[in-house]
Amino acid sequence: MNHKKIYAIIMLAMVLSMSACGKPVSKAEIIEEVSVDPQYVTTILEKLVSEEFTGRLTGTEGNKKAEEFLRSEMEAIGLVAPEFATSYLHGFDMLVPIKQKVTELEIVDVNGESVHKFDFGDDFTEYIARDFAMGIGAFEGAYTIIDDPFAINKVADLTSDDIWVFSRNATGTYSYDVFFKMVLASERKPKVIVYESDQLNNGHFILSPFTGLMRQNDNENGVLIYRVSPDAFQTIKDSEEKYLRVSTTADLRRVEVSNVVGMIDGKADHGYVISAHFDHLGDNLDGTVNYGALDNASGVSAMMAIAEAMVRRGEQELDYYFIAFNGEEEGLHGSTAFVRAGFLDVDKFKIINMDMLGSNIPIEFEISTTHPQSAELSEWILNNAQDYGLNAITSNIGASDHFPFEQAGFPAVTLIEFDKRYYHTPYDTIDASIDLEHLADLAQFVFELLQ
Ligand SMILES: [Zn+2]
């Protein structure tokens, strides 16, 4: 355990001052100054983004291995398992789309011969986040381009084709939910919807396995939906061959998974939850993996290093729960399940969640909350962060694991550096996203905050 270094400073100044005034020295005062171990932050971070865990998508083998790694690491650094999770695991089930092979979209000619194959991620992605969007299926057929914002209610009359390709002009100012419902309300439904979208980061679509709004795991009655980049839309629009072949194999499965929970028991029955989600988006099955270095191997490594330093420091007066949440990317499933289980008392615990910390560009350190009961906690962290020298602000992002706690009445914040450059793309790696020294410094800040 090379990370268990002791940073001890022994102060002997008293010896000198006491002999100066002639009194005998009964003992030297020893002040032990404990810090977060930057090497331990890096060790955990590198492990979480390693090939072994393949991007940690909930419900996959890589996620299971990451869960086991964190469990054994919590045990090794001396966190104890809470009563409600005797093996450090809090199990729950949730819906997750797990791909069997890479999603495909190509232009074909009348004989079905490939004319132009689009690149998953850069040119297009599947859209499977709603009940009306099919997760599994394939189709080949003629398509019609719809560019007119007023055509939406009469498309079925305009074409006999089964594939409807909408420009941004046609989707206009509608939210996609409203738009799809309008399209699917038409008398004759399409088999496939393709729509132009510019939700790209660094030329790559923002990926998401979101299932938060799905009620069940059969979306068989839906249609196949794909987002295409403006460039890909133009290629489809300009093509002389007007046939598309598509295929999606994202199996929506209900899976049994776990949050990983360890604690420092101060026998106080009140204290803090320090948390960070360890899951991410997994393998695209096209040779690219979403490693999720900033999102959120960074937050988990900070959390583990804070826990390690607190155990090393010894004796604590409060209870501290350290929770690595699972199923965050699909819609905060792990934290929601944890809050619903009712293990902790709303009046007795405050939540400090960490999601995306240690960006290697100058960016604001956000303290994010959405409910008034979190204002005091947020203000306290803000003042301390500014004193610490951080470029700190408060904000109101709800899309992380503090949110279910806030909804239940807990004071809860997420600390986040929302660097969007590589957000939810395969480019979010340690080299591209992270400043290791800065990440360790933020962990040190939270550690000092809790002392
Ligand atoms: Zn994310």
| Per-residue pLDDT tens over the stretch 85-135 | 989 999 999 999 999 999 999 999 999 999 999 999 999 999 987 888 888
Could you tell me if residue 198 is inside a domain? yes
Q: How far is the CA of 295 from the centre of ligand 1 (A)?
A: 5
CA-nearest of 251, 258, 296 to 277 is 296
Sequence-ordered list of residues with C-beta below 8 angstroms from that of 435, at least 6 positions apart, any chain: 358, 359, 360
CATH number at residue 418: 3.40.630.10
Domain tally for the chain?
2
Q: What are φ and ψ of residue 258, in 5° steps?
A: -140, 150
Q: How far is the CA of 355 from the centre of ligand 1 (A)?
A: 8
As a whole number, mean pLDDT of residues 16-30 equals: 41
Q: How far is the CA of 173 from the centre of ligand 1 (A)?
A: 26
Structure tokens at 194: 């393709």
Torsion sign across C-alpha atoms 377, 382, 388, 393:
positive
Q: How far is the CA of 301 from the centre of ligand 1 (A)?
A: 16
Which pLDDT band holds residue 219 (cuts at 50, 70, 90)?
A: low
Task: Note whether 270 and 154 are same-domain residues.
Answer: no
Q: How far is the CA of 267 from the centre of ligand 1 (A)?
A: 34
Q: How far is the CA of 117 from the centre of ligand 1 (A)?
A: 28
Task: Note whether 204 and 272 are same-domain residues.
Answer: no
Q: How far is the CA of 205 from the centre of ligand 1 (A)?
A: 13
Q: How far is the CA of 30 from the centre of ligand 1 (A)?
A: 44
List residues bridging with 205 in a β-sheet: 200
Which among 195, 229, 253 is the end of a domain? 253
Tokens 């980049």 label which residue? 229
CA angle 274, 387, 307 (to 5 degrees): 25
Please state, for a pLDDT cut of 90, what percent of the chain lies above it.
Answer: 79
Q: How far is the CA of 441 from the centre of ligand 1 (A)?
A: 22
Task: Note whether 115 and 74 are same-domain residues.
Answer: no
Query: What was the pLDDT predicted at 150?
Result: 80
Tell me: pLDDT of 296 over 60.
yes
Which among 231, 253, 275 is the end of a domain? 253
Tell me: pLDDT of 373 over 70.
yes
Tokens 């090939």 label which residue? 51
Q: How far is CA 268 from the centre of its chain?
A: 31
Torsion sign across C-alpha atoms 152, 156, 157, 159:
positive
Sequence-ordered list of residues with C-beta below 8 angstroms from that of 355, at least 6 positions apart, any chain: 276, 277, 295, 296, 299, 328, 400, 401, 414, 415, 416
Task: Note whether 221 and 87 are same-domain residues.
Answer: no
Report the alpha-carbon distance of residue 90 to residue 273 in Å, rounded.
15
Task: Note whether 142 and 102 are same-domain residues.
Answer: yes
CATH number at residue 193: 3.50.30.30
Q: How far is the CA of 432 from the centre of ligand 1 (A)?
A: 16
Evaluate if pTM is beyond 0.75. Answer: yes
Q: How far is the CA of 55 from the centre of ligand 1 (A)?
A: 11
Could you tell me if residue 6 is inside a domain? no
Query: What was the pLDDT predicted at 215?
Result: 67
Q: How far is the CA of 329 from the centre of ligand 1 (A)?
A: 5
Q: How far is the CA of 280 from the centre of ligand 1 (A)?
A: 6
Q: Buried (b) or exposed (e) across 218-241, using 16+ Cβ within 10 A?
A: ebeebbbbbbbbeebbebbeebeb
Q: How far is the CA of 126 from the centre of ligand 1 (A)?
A: 17
Report the alpha-carbon distance of residue 243 to residue 358 in Å, rounded.
46
Q: How far is the CA of 248 from the centre of ligand 1 (A)?
A: 22
Do the beta carbons of residue 176 and residue 94 sit within 8 Å? no
Which among 253, 279, 294 is the end of a domain? 253
Task: Note whether 244 and 278 are same-domain residues.
Answer: no
Query: What was the pLDDT predicted at 343?
Result: 98
As a whole number, mean pLDDT of residues 67-72 equals: 98
As a whole number, mean pLDDT of residues 393-419 equals: 97
Q: How far is the CA of 100 from the centre of ligand 1 (A)?
A: 21
CA-nearest of 436, 443, 68, 103 to 274 is 443
Q: How far is the CA of 304 from the centre of ligand 1 (A)?
A: 19
Tell me: pLDDT of 25 over 70.
no
Secondary-structure breakdown of the chain: helix, strand, coil percentages, each rounded to the nearest 5: 30, 25, 45
Report the alpha-carbon distance of residue 357 to residue 272 in Å, rounded.
19
Distances (CA, A) of 137 to 91, 101, 114, 189, 360: 31, 12, 19, 16, 41
Which pLDDT band holds residue 416 (cuts at 50, 70, 90)?
A: very high
Q: How far is the CA of 22 from the centre of ligand 1 (A)?
A: 63
Cis before residue 296, ω within 30 degrees of 0? yes
Query: What was the pLDDT predicted at 13?
Result: 37
Query: What was the pLDDT predicted at 281?
Result: 97
Sequence-ordered list of residues with C-beta below 8 angstroms from that of 449, at least 6 positions apart, any chain: 352, 381, 384
Task: Note whether 242 and 372 are same-domain residues.
Answer: no
Sequence-ordered list of residues with C-beta below 8 angstroms from that of 372, at least 6 positions apart, any chain: none
Distances (CA, A) of 297 to 45, 208, 293, 448: 5, 17, 5, 21
Could you tell me if residue 1 is inside a domain? no
Could you tell me if residue 5 is inside a domain? no
Could you tell me if residue 126 is inside a domain? yes
CA-nearest of 295, 272, 276, 304 to 440 is 304
Identify residue 163 by its one-letter amino acid code: I
Structure tokens at 8: 């001890």
Which pLDDT band holds residue 66 (cuts at 50, 70, 90)?
A: very high
Tell me: pLDDT of 18 over 60.
no
Task: Note whether 161 and 291 are same-domain residues.
Answer: no
Sequence-ordered list of residues with C-beta below 8 angstroms from that of 415, at least 6 positions apart, any chain: 352, 353, 354, 355, 357, 365, 366, 367, 368, 381, 442, 446
Q: How far is the CA of 235 from the centre of ligand 1 (A)?
A: 30
| Helix and strand totals (H; E) in the chain | 13, 19
Could you tell me if residue 82 is inside a domain? yes
Tens digits of per-residue pLDDT, 1-13? Answer: 333 333 333 333 3
Could you tell me if residue 20 is inside a domain? no
Identify residue 285 by its one-letter amino acid code: L
Report the alpha-carbon distance of residue 253 to residue 418 in Å, rounded.
30
Strands 271-277 and 349-354: what pairing? parallel
Task: Note whether 124 and 273 are same-domain residues.
Answer: no
As a whole number, mean pLDDT of residues 269-279 equals: 98
Task: Note whether 80 and 183 are same-domain residues.
Answer: no
Question: Which alpha helices (H) appear in 198-332, and where do they start and end?
Answer: 230-238, 298-313
As a whole number, mean pLDDT of residues 221-227 equals: 89
List residues bridging with 223 in a β-sheet: 133
Q: How far is the CA of 330 from the centre of ligand 1 (A)?
A: 9
Q: How far is the CA of 328 from the centre of ligand 1 (A)?
A: 7
Q: How far is the CA of 194 from the centre of ligand 1 (A)?
A: 25
Task: Note whether 249 and 263 are same-domain residues.
Answer: no
Q: How far is the CA of 420 from the centre of ligand 1 (A)?
A: 10
Q: Buried (b) or exposed (e) across 50-68, using 16+ Cβ within 10 A?
A: eeebbbbbbbbebbbbbbe
Q: How far is the CA of 327 from the centre of ligand 1 (A)?
A: 10
Mean per-residue pLDDT over the chain, rounded: 90
Q: How far is the CA of 332 from the centre of ligand 1 (A)?
A: 10
Report the alpha-carbon distance of residue 165 to residue 180 in Å, rounded.
12
As a whole number, mean pLDDT of residues 18-45 equals: 68
Task: Note whether 357 and 394 are same-domain residues.
Answer: yes
Tell me: pLDDT of 29 over 50.
no
Structural domain of 142: 98-253
Could you tell me if residue 409 is inside a domain? yes
Which pLDDT band holds residue 348 (cuts at 50, 70, 90)?
A: very high
Q: How far is the CA of 291 from the centre of ligand 1 (A)?
A: 11
